[in-house]
């Protein structure tokens, strides 16, 4: 959903059981899926298929899909795919920049006043934020590099394992950055929280003092984004799945006892396409930087 653009959906993997093929079921599913996507505001549905596979090419063209002319060369075959996704990822990574730390002049560093101490402490948080941004850039770049080497989304190889390893690291850094933004806001706007106090950014933004210091409209903007589907995809789904040892980058098939009948739990069989997960994280960090740069600008003009 909303990948690689907000009005575009990307089908990472589609397959029907061999016994269900040549009965119109696959076309029916794709037709109904496209109707649902249209109803949800999607304008395009994109996908890729292996070049030289006439059955796959015939199926997708029969169902109204057309080639874009873009391909992705793999070691053993060529995937017909829209390279705009890769371009978007690469440009997004290149666009990530650290914040202006606005270090104090030497004579200012020697002053011991409440305002100078506030400035020095705020700078410390900016320095820490920039370190984590650089760590994030490294992690997401490595995750993408391994994702490019993968032949298909459900493979279980060293490439897929390393893609997931670095993606998990990038997700962790992303969440840490939101916490560091809370620390900077607390310091700069003098909200009164101790730096060692364990409090989520959600609870922090609900505080009446924070709303007064930062402004209700600004707090609403941040809270609105933090509760959006895009951020929750990263914070709740990707991060929590990694935390609970069930990452969303792999395929799992569990079986459960349902009223005495053993049934397959299909909830984790099909993982998201690697590029889709990477785009979710990149979109979140870009939104984070918009908020952070806004407060960084306020600080540098202080």
pLDDT tens-digit map of 87-105: 889 999 999 999 887 765 4
32: pLDDT strictly greater than 80: yes
Banded model confidence at residue 73, pLDDT cuts 50, 70, 90: low
Q: Is the pTM of this model over 0.85?
A: no
Between 160 and 22, the more confident residue is 160
Looking only at the bridges linking them, the beta strands covering 44-47 and 8-11 are: parallel
Nearest 5°: phi and psi at 181?
-65, -40
Q: Return the pLDDT at 128.
A: 93
Three-state SS at 288: helix
Work out the number of other CB atoms within 10 angstroms of the CB of residue 219: 19
Q: Return the pLDDT at 106.
A: 46
Nearest 5°: phi and psi at 233?
-60, -40
Three-state SS at 75: coil
Q: How far apart are CA 192 and CA 241, in angstroms?
A: 33
Report for 115-129, 188-202, 256-270: range of highest mean pLDDT: 188-202
Per-residue DSSP letter, 273? P
Beta strands in the chain (DSSP E): 8-11, 44-47, 49-50, 71-73, 78-80, 254-258, 261-265
Average pLDDT over residues 203-212: 94
Three-state SS at 227: coil
Average pLDDT over residues 30-57: 79
Average pLDDT over residues 32-36: 84
Between 197 and 260, the more confident residue is 197
Between 43 and 186, the more confident residue is 186
Q: Taking CA 224 as the corner, what is the angle to CA 218 and CA 227, rounded to the nearest 5 degrees? A: 140
């Amino acid at each position: 959903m909303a990948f690689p653009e907000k009005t575009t959906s990307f089908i990472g993997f589609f397959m029907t059981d061999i016994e269900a093929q040549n009965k119109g079921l696959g076309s029916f599913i794709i037709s109904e899926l496209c109707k649902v996507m249209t109803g949800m505001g999607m304008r395009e549905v994109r996908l890729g298929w292996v070049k030289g596979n006439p059955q796959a090419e015939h199926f997708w063209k029969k169902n109204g899909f057309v080639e874009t002319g873009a391909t992705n060369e793999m070691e053993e075959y060529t995937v017909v795919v829209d390279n705009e996704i890769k371009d978007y990822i690469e440009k997004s990574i290149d666009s990530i920049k650290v914040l202006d730390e606005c270090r104090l002049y030497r004579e200012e560093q020697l002053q011991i006043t409440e305002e100078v101490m506030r400035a020095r402490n705020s700078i410390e948080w900016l320095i820490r934020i920039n370190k984590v941004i650089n760590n994030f850039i490294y992690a997401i770049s490595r995750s993408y590099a391994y994702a490019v080497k993968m032949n298909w989304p459900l493979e279980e190889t060293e490439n897929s394992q390393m893609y997931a390893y670095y993606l998990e690291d990038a997700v962790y850094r992303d969440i840490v950055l939101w916490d560091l933004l809370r620390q900077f806001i607390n310091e700069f706007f003098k909200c009164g929280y101790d730096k060692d106090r364990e409090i989520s950014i959600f609870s922090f933004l609900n505080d009446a003092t924070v709303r007064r210091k930062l402004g209700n409209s600004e707090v609403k903007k941040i809270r609105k984004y933090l509760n959006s589907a895009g951020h929750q995809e990263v914070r709740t789904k990707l991060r929590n799945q990694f935390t609970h040892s069930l990452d969303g980058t792999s395929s799992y098939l569990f079986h459960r006892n349902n009223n005495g009948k053993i049934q397959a739990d299909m909830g984790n069989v099909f993982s998201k396409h690697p590029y889709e997960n990477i785009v979710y994280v990149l979109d979140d960090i870009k939104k984070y930087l918009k908020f952070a740069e806004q407060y960084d600008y306020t600080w540098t003009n202080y």
